[in-house]
Amino acid sequence: MTTTARTGTGPSVLCVLDRAYRGAVEAQFFHALYGLLDLHGQFERMDVALRGAAVTLAVEEDTYRPSVRLGTMVLDTLPDYRGSVRDLVAEGFEVLVDRDAVRALGFAPERLVAGTTCLAPAELAVRWPRYDQVWFV
Amino acid sequence: MNAGTARPGGTASYFLIESKGNWAGPDAGAFLLDGAALAEAGHRVRVFLVEDGVFSAVGTGTPGIERLAAAGAEILVDDFSAAQRALGGPDLSPHARLAGMDVAAAALTEEGCRGVWH
Amino acid sequence: MAGGMERRVWDLLLILTAAPHSGDVVTSALRLSQAVLDKGGSVRVWACGYATMMTQDTFGDTKPPNTRDPGGHYPSPSAIVRRMIADGRGRFGWIACTACTEERGATHHIPQVRHRSPLRLATTVVGARQTLYLGGA
pLDDT in the model for residue B7 = 58
pLDDT in the model for residue B59 = 76
pLDDT at B24 over 60: yes
Nearest CB among C20, C74, C77 relative to A29 is that of C74
Nearest CB among A52, A61, A104 relative to B86 is that of A61
Structural domain that includes position C97? 14-134
pLDDT at A1 over 50: no
Looking up residue A21, the CATH number of its domain turns out to be: 3.40.1260.10
pLDDT at B81 over 70: yes
pLDDT in the model for residue B23 = 86
pLDDT at C5 over 80: no
Looking up residue C80, the CATH number of its domain turns out to be: 3.40.1260.10
The CA angle B115-A52-C29, to the nearest 5 degrees, is: 25
Residue ranges of domains in chain B, CATH in brackets: 13-113 (3.40.1260.10)
pLDDT at B87 over 60: yes
Q: Which residues of B touch A63 (CB under 8 A)?
A: 83, 88
- The structure's pTM equals 0.93
Classify residue A1: in a domain, yes or no. no
Question: What percent of chain B has pLDDT above 90?
Answer: 80
pLDDT in the model for residue A93 = 97
Across chain A, mean pLDDT equals 94
Distance CA A24, CA C21 (A): 8
Q: Which residues of A touch C26 (CB under 8 A)?
A: 23, 25-26
Distance, in angstroms, between A30 CA and closest chain C CA?
A: 8
Classify residue A2: in a domain, yes or no. no
Nearest CB among C20, C27, C88 relative to A71 is that of C88
> Which H or E element spans position A45?
strand A43-50
For residues A55 and A5, the answer to whether their CB atoms sit within 8 Å is: no
Domain tally for chain C?
1
pLDDT in the model for residue B1 = 42
Structural domain that includes position A54? 10-80+88-136
Nearest-Cα residue of chain A relative to residue C87 = A71
DSSP state for residue A114 in the 8-state scheme = T
pLDDT digits (tens, 9 = 90+) for C38-88: 999 999 999 999 999 999 999 999 999 999 999 999 999 999 999 999 999
Across chain B, mean pLDDT equals 92
ipTM more than 0.90? Answer: yes
